[in-house]
């Protein structure tokens, strides 16, 4: 995919591939410049990934961590190293020729209550996540791992730090919902040119439905050059729950958009898609169509 993006002159980070842990030193002789990102090629949910690496020592440990994950879970035999791009993490859901929803994923964080340690605040968040009344928010617990401690250390903090009331502390650089990130709907705020870029990427990948992941400094800007946008990846099985139930903002009914596309339904008939589908199949609904609950995706793309 990276090769295809380069051939099409689309904005993507410079990368190299490593086949064994000792090869980390070749990165220092490559055109890549710090800060860097290290991640297994075949992993998902940011597993084995390390972001915003700024020293050779961090690079060596990040490469070892990525290969340890690859070998433990048999996720291929290669690790990707790429240049880090500081921008908002966006997931654009493409259906056909349109972007039907965009969420900005914010990295995991906690807000201090003035007396609890950062570790205690993480545990409190994770306990709240398990509550059944929070089902409508597609959130996941925040793992306490080396990425959390490294991120805190960069800001001269530890898991035992206690901060003033209301202080927001970012816990990692990756914004995956699967590691405690929070999805914010920005569908109506993103510039049309960035949406068009996502549609183009999906078409290059021969996907009718896909989640395009971008890093973007200013999502309201028309600039789609590498100065403002970097393409991370495209998911062929994107999670839908973060679009239906964002942590902030109005949810988008993307399931109906997908069904309308599959069955070529006009948009003005969106609210009748469930009834029409059942009628076509000659099936009587067990419950009213307006009470159907959108299933949570089990895909690896969030």
Task: Using 70 as the pLDDT threshold, list the residues of the chain that sit under it.
Answer: 129-138, 265-302
**Tokens describing residue 58:** 């961090």
| Rounded distance between C-alpha atoms, residue 103 and residue 248, angstroms | 9
| Rounded distance between C-alpha atoms, residue 50 and residue 151, angstroms | 10
Cβ-contact 250, 275 below 8 angstroms: no
Predicted pLDDT at 294: 38
**Helix or strand or coil: residue 197?**
helix
Cα 197 to chain centroid, rounded: 17
Half-sphere exposure of 46 (CA within 13 A, CB side): 24
Cβ-contact 147, 173 below 8 angstroms: yes
Predicted pLDDT at 129: 66
> Backbone phi, then psi, for 292, in 5-degree steps?
-65, 140
Predicted pLDDT at 291: 39
Beta strands at 168-170 and 182-185: parallel, antiparallel or unpaired: unpaired
Only one residue has tokens 């617990």, namely 141
Predicted pLDDT at 286: 43
Each residue's pLDDT tens digit, 30-66:
999 999 999 999 888 889 999 999 999 999 999 999 9
| Domain spans, the chain | 108-172
Beta strands at 50-53 and 209-216: parallel, antiparallel or unpaired: unpaired
Predicted pLDDT at 295: 38
Q: What is the largest CA-CA distance in the chain?
A: 66
Cβ-contact 141, 126 below 8 angstroms: yes
In DSSP notation, 244-272 reads HS-SBS----HHHHHHHHHTT--GGGGGG
CB atoms within 10 A of CB 146: 13
| Rounded distance between C-alpha atoms, residue 231 and residue 197, angstroms | 10
| Rounded distance between C-alpha atoms, residue 219 and residue 204, angstroms | 22
| Rounded distance between C-alpha atoms, residue 279 and residue 287, angstroms | 14
Predicted pLDDT at 72: 92
| Rounded distance between C-alpha atoms, residue 101 and residue 258, angstroms | 11
Cβ-contact 183, 138 below 8 angstroms: yes
CB atoms within 10 A of CB 96: 17
Predicted pLDDT at 167: 98
Predicted pLDDT at 277: 46
First to last CA, the chain: 19
């Amino acid at each position: 995919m990276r090769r295809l993006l380069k051939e099409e002159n689309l904005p993507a980070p410079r990368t190299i591939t490593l086949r064994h842990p000792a090869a980390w030193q070749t990165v220092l002789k490559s055109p890549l410049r710090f800060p860097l990102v290290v991640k297994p090629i075949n992993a998902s949910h940011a597993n084995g990934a390390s972001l915003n690496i700024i020293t050779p020592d961090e690079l060596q440990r990040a490469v070892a961590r990525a290969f340890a994950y690859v070998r433990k879970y048999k996720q291929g035999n290669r690790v990707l190293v790429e240049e880090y791009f500081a921008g908002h993490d966006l997931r654009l859901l493409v259906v056909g020729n349109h972007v039907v929803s965009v969420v900005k994923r914010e990295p995991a964080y906690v807000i201090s209550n003035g007396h609890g340690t950062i570790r205690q605040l993480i545990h409190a968040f994770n306990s709240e996540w398990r509550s059944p009344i929070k089902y409508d928010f597609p959130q996941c617990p925040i793992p306490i791992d080396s990425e959390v401690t490294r991120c805190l250390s960069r800001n001269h903090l530890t898991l035992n730090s206690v901060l003033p009331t209301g202080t927001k502390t970012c816990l990692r650089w990756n914004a995956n919902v699967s590691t405690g990130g929070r999805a914010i709907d920005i569908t109506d705020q993103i510039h049309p040119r960035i949406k068009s870029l996502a549609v183009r990427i999906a078409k290059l990948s021969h996907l009718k439905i896909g989640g395009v992941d971008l890093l973007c400094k200013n999502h309201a800007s028309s600039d789609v050059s590498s100065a403002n946008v970097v393409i991370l990846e495209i998911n062929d099985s994107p999670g839908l729950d973060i679009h239906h139930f964002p942590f902030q903002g109005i949810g988008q009914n993307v399931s109906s958009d997908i069904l309308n596309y599959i069955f070529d339904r006009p948009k003005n008939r969106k609210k009748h898609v469930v009834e029409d589908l059942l009628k076509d199949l000659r099936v009587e609904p067990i419950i009213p169509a307006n009470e159907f609950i959108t299933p949570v995706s089990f895909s690896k793309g969030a």
